[in-house]
């Protein structure tokens, strides 16, 4: 039987890991909410961002958190170009076409990374990778505390962009009524590309937060995106508050499952709560009813 201190520590560390999960899901749910597509390339793009952070650290000696300042604009530009010049034109506006294009893009990116970096895993060791923060009697992982704070700040920044800027208002208009938005002069292809770019920039921030305590290989993104898809469905497809709350909830459930069932069975709790949510509320916690 574990002591209350160990249980509380595990749950708090899970809550903070869930914040990084939420950041990955944030880009996925934003893209779905505006473009109405499930982006199967999301995990592969997360892997690209993690390799960018690793290269910035290994080749140029940058701190992973500082590397976010350079990787985020690069991922923003990559996301904009992919949607504007590849995904949009190749899909010809059909939903099933977009799904096939993002799936094909995921396969191409993964194999390109395998050719460039082989299947080896790569890590970054920093002075704070194993540092802990003392909160009274509790010991919390420093990288996860930073991840929690940056995720909250990024979510607030995204909310401000969507509600206080012209491009944010255009994104919300296109999400609600694409035809009406185009009739008042909003460029829908540009808004789609900007939305995809913002989603990729969120992945860059998540990559910088993950690298001090996780490894990267060409298949790393697949593990995270599976959890991200679960969070998006749990929180409600297209809901930003749902992605944040769902991510935190998933982190706590995973930590509790790992503590009481063992690390190898840690994700059982995630899929149990996912199934229960689908049975009780199929639209998710914050999803609108049809």
Which of the four pLDDT bands, split at 50, 70 and 90, describes residue 54? Answer: very high
What is the spatial distance between Cα 64 and Cα 62, in angstroms, rounded to a whole number? Answer: 6
Paired strand residues for 122: 216
Q: Once rounded to an integer, what is the mean pLDDT over residues 161-172?
A: 92
Highest mean pLDDT among 89-93, 147-151, 233-237: 147-151
- Domains parsed from the chain with CATH numbers: 4-280 (1.10.3470)
Which of the four pLDDT bands, split at 50, 70 and 90, describes residue 63? Answer: very high
Mean pLDDT of the chain: 88
Query: What is the helix (H) or strand (E) element at residue 141, kind and residue range?
Result: strand 138-141
Name the token pair of 180.
């009406």
Q: What tens digit of pLDDT does each residue of 175-191 get?
A: 888 888 889 889 999 99
Q: What is the model's pLDDT at position 93? A: 59
Q: What is the model's pLDDT at position 290? A: 44
Q: Once rounded to an integer, what is the mean pLDDT over residues 32-59?
A: 91
Q: Which residue has the higher pLDDT, 237 or 15?
A: 15
E strand segments, the chain: 132-135, 138-141
Count of H-run helices and E-run strands, the chain: 12, 2
What is the spatial distance between Cα 69 and Cα 204, in angstroms, rounded to a whole number? Answer: 9
Q: Residue 132: phi, psi to the nearest 5?
A: -120, 155
CA-based end-to-end distance of the chain: 45
Q: Estimate to the nearest angstrom the gap between the alpha carbon of 186 and the chain centroid.
A: 27
Which of the four pLDDT bands, split at 50, 70 and 90, describes residue 64? Answer: very high
Residue 170 has pLDDT above 80, yes or no: yes
Residue 16 has pLDDT above 80, yes or no: yes
% pLDDT > 70, the chain: 96
Name the token pair of 92.
């010809």
Q: What tens digit of pLDDT does each residue of 96-120 get?
A: 677 888 889 999 999 999 999 988 8
% pLDDT > 90, the chain: 42
Residue 122 has pLDDT above 70, yes or no: yes
Q: Which residue has the higher pLDDT, 162 or 261?
A: 162
Quote the pTM value.
Answer: 0.90
């Amino acid at each position: 039987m574990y002591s209350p201190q160990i249980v509380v520590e595990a749950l708090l560390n899970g809550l903070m890991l869930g914040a990084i999960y939420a950041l990955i899901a944030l880009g996925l749910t934003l893209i779905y909410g505006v473009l109405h597509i499930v982006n199967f390339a999301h995990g592969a793009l997360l892997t690209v961002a993690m390799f960018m952070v690793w290269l910035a650290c290994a080749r140029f000696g940058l701190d992973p958190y500082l590397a976010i300042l350079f990787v985020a604009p690069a991922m923003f530009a990559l996301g904009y170009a992919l949607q504007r010049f590849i995904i949009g034109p190749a899909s010809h506006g059909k939903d099933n076409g977009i799904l096939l294009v993002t799936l094909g893009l995921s396969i191409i990116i993964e194999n390109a990374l395998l050719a460039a970096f082989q299947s080896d895993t790569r890590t970054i060791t920093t002075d704070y990778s194993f540092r802990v923060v003392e909160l009274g009697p509790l010991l919390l992982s420093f990288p996860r505390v930073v991840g929690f704070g940056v995720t909250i700040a990024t979510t607030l920044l995204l909310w401000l962009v969507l509600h206080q800027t012209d491009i944010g208002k255009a994104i919300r208009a296109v999400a609600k009524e694409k035809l009406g938005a185009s009739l008042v002069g909003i460029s829908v292809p540009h808004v789609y590309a900007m939305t995809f770019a913002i989603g990729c920039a969120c992945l860059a921030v998540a990559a910088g937060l993950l690298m001090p305590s996780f490894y990267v290989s060409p298949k790393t993104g697949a593990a995270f995106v599976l959890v991200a898809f679960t969070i998006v469905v749990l929180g409600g497809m297209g809901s930003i508050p749902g992605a944040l709350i769902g991510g935190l909830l998933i982190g706590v459930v995973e930590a509790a499952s790992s503590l009481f069932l063992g690390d190898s069975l840690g994700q059982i709790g995630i899929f149990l709560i996912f199934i229960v949510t689908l049975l009780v509320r199929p639209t998710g916690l914050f999803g609108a009813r049809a």
